[in-house]
Amino acid sequence: MNATEILLAESQERMVYEVDPENVDAVREIAEKYDLGCSDIGEVTVDGRYVCEFDGDVVVDAPAEFLADGAPLNDLPMETPETPATDYDLPALAEAFEAVVASPNAASKRWIYRQYDHEVGARTAVRPGEDGAVLALRELADADAAVADAPGIALAAGANPNWTACEPYAGAYATAVENATNLAAVGAEPVAAVDCLNGGNPEKSDVYGGFGAIVDGLADGCRDLSVPVVGGNVSLYNDSEAGPIPPTPTLAVLGTTDTVDAPGSALAGDGTLLLVGGHDERLGGSELLAEFGGSDAFPEVPENAGDLVATLARVAGDDSVSAVHDVSDGGLAVTLAEGLTADAGADVSVPSLAALFSEAPGRAVVETTDPAAVRAAFDGVADVVEIGSSDDSGTLAIDIGDVESGGVAFDHDAVAAFRETIAAAME
Q: Is the pLDDT of residue 144 over 90?
A: no
> Which residue blocks in 133-194 are alpha helix, DSSP H?
161-166, 168-185
In sequence order, the 6+-apart residues with CB closer than 8 A to the CB of 275 are 327, 332, 363, 364, 365, 384, 385, 386, 387
**Residue 61: pLDDT band with limits 50, 70, 90:** very high
Q: Is the pLDDT of residue 62 over 80?
A: yes
Q: Identify whether the C-beta of residue 325 lies closer than 8 Å to the C-beta of residue 364.
A: yes
Rounded Cα distance between 149 and 230, Å, is 29
Q: What is the pLDDT of residues 165-212, one digit of tens each?
A: 999 999 999 999 999 999 999 999 999 999 999 999 999 999 999 999
Range list for CATH 3.30.1330.10 in the chain: 123-262
Q: What is the pLDDT of residues 237-265, one digit of tens each?
A: 999 999 999 999 999 999 999 988 888 99
In sequence order, the 6+-apart residues with CB closer than 8 A to the CB of 208 are 76, 77, 78, 79, 199, 202
**What pLDDT shows up at residue 401?**
83
Q: Is the pLDDT of residue 146 over 80?
A: no
**What pLDDT shows up at residue 177?**
98
- Give whole-number Cα distances, 269 to 320, 321, 343, in Å: 13, 12, 7
**What pLDDT shows up at residue 51?**
96
Rounded Cα distance between 204 and 193, Å, is 29
Query: Residues 15-41, buried b or exposed e (16+ Cβ, 10 A)?
Result: eeeeeeeeeeeeeeeeeeeeeeeeeee
Structure-derived torsion over alpha carbons of residues 75, 208, 192, 123, reported in degrees to the nearest 10:
-140
Report the CATH number of the 263-427 domain. Answer: 3.90.650.10
In sequence order, the 6+-apart residues with CB closer than 8 A to the CB of 404 are none
**What pLDDT shows up at residue 68?**
80
Ranges 72-86, 237-251, 279-293, 403-417: which has the least confidence: 403-417
Over the chain, what is the mean pLDDT? 93
Range list for CATH 3.90.650.10 in the chain: 263-427
Cα-trace Rg, the chain: 24
Report the CATH number of the 123-262 domain. Answer: 3.30.1330.10
**What pLDDT shows up at residue 262?**
85
DSSP conformation letters of 25-70: HHHHHHHHHTT----------SS-EEEEEETTEEEEEEEHHHHHH-
**What pLDDT shows up at residue 163?**
98
**Residue 150: pLDDT band with limits 50, 70, 90:** confident
